[in-house]
Amino acid sequence: MEPWILLLGAGIALGCVSSPPDSCEGRCGEPFSEEDECHCHAECVTQHNCCEDHERHCGPDGFSSSRDSITDQELLELSEQLYGADHNKARPSDIAINPQHLAGPDETGDKQDRSPQPLYKYVNEELFSKPTYASFIKLLDNYQRATGREEKVTAEELREQERFLEEVMKTELMKKLFVFLQGKNRYSSQQEFLQDLKQMWFGLYSRGDGEQDSSGFEHVFSGEVKKGKVSGFHNWIRFYLLEKQGVVNYFSHNFNGPWDSYPDVLGLQFSWDGFYKEVGSAFIGCSPEFEFGLYSLCFLARPGRACHLSLGGHRLSVQTYPWTKSTYGSGRRFIATAYVMSP
């Protein structure tokens, strides 16, 4: 099997994506399928097999009616627009990586370090003084990586969350995303969009034993350790900073994307203080707002399913999953995970 066939974030073959979510968000009017956990077509009401949030999304006032649905073509077009609007991304001269060993499917799980050198040969750290980078980096030390340990959020950490959201919303990229979502009747104002981003990404929930120990942001960008393994951790900036400190050890890669500029995509194996990540994935060289915006779009448009995008003429997909055990607001879902897949 070729390495690009793997889903980078999950290590399973394409076509083995999980069953559809238990939500009608983005699914109103979908044809009936026996494989679906619950249904969102017009007849589900009389057949008593609708998803619990059918009325909210597909009722007369729902935002997932056919005119407001987000089509596959719109996702391809918008992702190209967001790619072009990533003005804070790294230039080719800003980053030099050394991928070294290309791991085959039988090598990703054996925990062998086949790359003696670090992944990052050089990063121009002037990037990190840009407002979105600087506010993003301040968030990374706000978390306890072990699941099952309660996260205590200080007033300063709340201000850091607000600052990051303020800075990303100043960018052309996030403004484009908001205008698109507003046009689809997802949000009536930028303030409503901001508040929802804050809840879906930073709202706490329990991955452990009832403790409020996790959030979408922590899992995706900062990384966690669960049952002795690295969980999440899909961000290149976090990886670079920890590799520089000597606490992350790069082992190999199983996919290197086709891009000859940044952002690029890498599937990789590594250890974090001795905890192993068998098949991780990351955009390389993108700005924080690009990754944050793209994952948010896919979570809103295709929660629980593959979200097919286009960057610089190359196809790729993002997988997101909603957290199903708790909600916020009127039944909205937190982000459980989000990661880039192979094209």
DSSP result, 186-221: S-SSHHHHHHHHHHHHH--B-SSSSS--B-HHIIII
Is a pLDDT exceeding 80 seen at residue 75?
yes
Is a pLDDT exceeding 70 seen at residue 12?
no
**pLDDT recorded at residue 65:** 52
What average pLDDT does range 82-91 have in this prediction? 98
Output the CA torsion 132→162→194→148 (10° steps): 100
Instruction: Using DSSP, state whether 322 is helix, strand or coil.
Output: strand
Question: Is residue 74 a contact partner of residue 179, using CB atoms and an 8 Å limit?
Answer: no
Query: How far from the centroid of its chain's Cα atoms is residue 264's Cα?
Result: 15
What positions carry a catalytic annotation? 219, 234, 277
User: Which of these ranges, 149-163, 272-286, 291-305, has the smallest mean pLDDT?
Assistant: 149-163
- The first and second tokens of residue 266, run together, are 């890498």
**pLDDT recorded at residue 16:** 32
Residue 306 backbone phi and psi in degrees, to 5: -70, 135
Is a pLDDT exceeding 50 seen at residue 17?
no
**pLDDT recorded at residue 66:** 60
pLDDT above 70: percentage of residues in the chain: 90
What average pLDDT does range 8-16 have in this prediction? 35
What average pLDDT does range 224-246 have in this prediction? 95
Output the CA torsion 100→105→110→112 (10° steps): -10
For residues 317 and 169, give the distance between their C-alpha atoms in angstroms, rounded to a whole number: 24
Is a pLDDT exceeding 70 seen at residue 308?
yes
Is a pLDDT exceeding 80 seen at residue 150?
no
Domains of the chain: residue spans and CATH: 12-60 (4.10.410.20), 72-341 (no CATH)
